[in-house]
Amino acid sequence: MPSTLWSPVKPFSIIYLEDGVRDLPRTGEILSHFPSAEILPIRHYKDLFAPSGQPWLAEKHHPALILAGDHQLPSDADDPASARIYHGAPVCQNFGNFHFYYTSLMMNCIYDCEYCYLQGMYPSANVVVFPDLTPVFSRLESLLQEHPVYLCISYDTDLLAFEGVTGFIRDFIHFTAKHENLTVECRTKSANIGIIRQYLADGIQIPDRFIFAWTLSPSVISARFEHLSPDTDTRIQALLEAIRLGLSVRICFDPLLEIPGEADSAAHYRDLIRTTFEAIREAVPDRELSDCLRDVSLGAFRVTKGHLKNMRQRRPDSLVVQYPYHLENGAYSYPEDIKNGLTRTLLSEIARYLPDDKIFAWH
Ligand code: SF4
């Protein structure tokens, strides 16, 4: 298994620390992973989580780590966003869940996908971690008293890739196990399944309602546009291991991309779908595919207008970012014919392996 901690240059040689989180046990655990880092006190993470004056890509390649507190005001107590819990965005797949939220335990990612919306959403490439889960769990408890909750915890980052440092997933597994009307999705491109295997070996029970969702892309996309993350084969191996461990596994073919310079992008996705499902069949021959997978999602690249504008400024040379997308209802995506053609082709390919009720497509 490759190392799960990224090292393009020397990440996190500087760690900025808000006073309010200095004494938290998780802060101490996080800092222990970076014994050589220079620790600098700050008043508020937003003082650093702002345009730095240097090119965004340079900051992305040498980010600082910022450990920040909650900054909740008493008057915000009834606002879910006050505990970094937000309603799911319309461009995100809700998998049929009405009460769809996401939470931001970290902002920014140790991977570097050229198409990532985070580079259009945040003013800085520095990585912010909020070590205190107490306000998040407290707000969730309130929501769960009102209705079931479907919560995505790894949208604005890749939590599994950084789990060895934060332990957030472990704590969310415990919380999910105690709350029967909570379903959690942890989306990832990481191969860090070893840490989850260790949790199981330590006796931690992982409920079916805790979903590990792997994003898969054809190898040509992974190699060209998904920098620093494990390659496609390595991700497939990780999800196979997750299935063998009996975890609830989702596969996301999302975002689907038209591959620059390739005449038939769909062919690459068809190959990926076949490779993935055949690998699952081979890895667990005694189980039906539909028992191995919770579901599969797919969706063409889409991003809000404002985010794409920032992304284009920050990635002037990226073919995937500079593609002439079509604007509709405030979001950029491919023109209908391209989007629907790609989606329909892949839907029919996935339908060879899974029943319709396990396939979710974003249109
Ligand atoms: S893994 Fe996800 S969050 Fe991380 S850079 Fe890639 S698209 Fe963004």
Determine the angle formed by the axes of helices 336-350 and 265-283, rounding to 10 degrees.
20
Q: Decide whether any atom of ligand 1 lies within 6 Å of the 17 Cβ.
A: no
Q: Which of 60, 107, 110, 116 to mutate to test the pocket of ligand 1 (most atoms within 8 A of CB)?
A: 116
Structure-token match 């306000």, residue found: 135
Q: H or E element: which one contains 296? A: strand 295-300
**Cα four-point dihedral sign 200, 204, 207, 210:** negative
Atom of ligand 1 at shortest distance to CA of 187?
2
Q: How many Å lie between the centroid of ligand 1 and the Cα of residue 229?
A: 9
Q: Decide whether any atom of ligand 1 lies within 6 Å of the 127 Cβ.
A: no
**Cα four-point dihedral sign 54, 60, 63, 66:** positive
Contact between 146 and 179 under an 8 Å Cβ cutoff? The reply is: no
Q: Decide whether any atom of ligand 1 lies within 6 Å of the 239 Cβ.
A: no
In this structure, is residue 247 part of a structural domain? yes
Determine the angle formed by the axes of helices 193-201 and 168-178, rounding to 10 degrees.
50
Cα 39 to chain center, whole Å? 27
Atom of ligand 1 at shortest distance to CA of 188?
1
Nearest CA to ligand 1 atom 6: 113
**330: domain CATH number?**
3.80.30.30
* DSSP assignment letter at 167: -
Atom of ligand 1 at shortest distance to CA of 229?
1
- 134-165 burial, b at 16+ Cβ within 10 Å, e below that, comes to ebbbebbeebbeeeebbbbbbbbbbbbbbbeb
Helix (H, G, I), strand (E, B) or coil at 325: coil
3-state helix, strand, coil in the chain (%, to 5): 40, 20, 40
Q: Which of 118, 231, 257, 314 to mutate to test the pocket of ligand 1 (most atoms within 8 A of CB)?
A: 118
Q: Decide whether any atom of ligand 1 lies within 6 Å of the 109 Cβ.
A: yes
In this structure, is residue 10 part of a structural domain? no
In this structure, is residue 31 part of a structural domain? no
**How many structural domains does the chain have?**
1
Tally Cβ neighbours within 10 Å of residue 330: 10
In this structure, is residue 39 part of a structural domain? no
Q: Decide whether any atom of ligand 1 lies within 6 Å of the 172 Cβ.
A: no
Q: Give me the pLDDT at residue 94, please.
A: 85
Q: For residue 337, which of 254, 352, 272, 328 has the smallest C-alpha distance? A: 328
Nearest CA to ligand 1 atom 3: 157
Q: Decide whether any atom of ligand 1 lies within 6 Å of the 241 Cβ.
A: no
Q: Give me the pLDDT at residue 362, please.
A: 85
Low-confidence residues of the chain: pLDDT under 70: 1-10, 72-82
Q: How many Å lie between the centroid of ligand 1 and the Cα of residue 45?
A: 21
Q: Decide whether any atom of ligand 1 lies within 6 Å of the 158 Cβ.
A: yes
Q: Which of 158, 162, 217 to mutate to test the pocket of ligand 1 (most atoms within 8 A of CB)?
A: 158
* DSSP assignment letter at 231: P
Q: How many Å lie between the centroid of ligand 1 and the Cα of residue 108?
A: 8
In this structure, is residue 17 part of a structural domain? no
Domain that holds residue 207: 74-106+131-362
In this structure, is residue 61 part of a structural domain? no
In this structure, is residue 112 part of a structural domain? no
33 burial level (CB within 10 Å; 0-12, 13-18, 19+): middle
Structure-token match 């068809």, residue found: 270
Q: Give me the pLDDT at residue 54, please.
A: 82
In this structure, is residue 191 part of a structural domain? yes
Q: For residue 319, which of 262, 256, 259, 269 has the smallest C-alpha distance? A: 259
Q: Which residues are paired to 200 by β-bridges?
A: none
Q: For residue 349, which of 250, 270, 293, 276 has the smallest C-alpha distance? A: 270
- 326 vs 65: CA distance, rounded Å: 36
Q: Give me the pLDDT at residue 3, please.
A: 37
Tally Cβ neighbours within 10 Å of residue 340: 13
Q: Decide whether any atom of ligand 1 lies within 6 Å of the 111 Cβ.
A: yes
- 69 vs 89: CA distance, rounded Å: 24
Beta strands in 123-169 (DSSP E): 127-129, 149-152
Q: In this structure, what are the phi and psi dihedrals at residue 314, rounded to the nearest 5 degrees?
A: -85, -25
Q: For residue 331, which of 307, 297, 311, 312 has the smallest C-alpha distance? A: 307
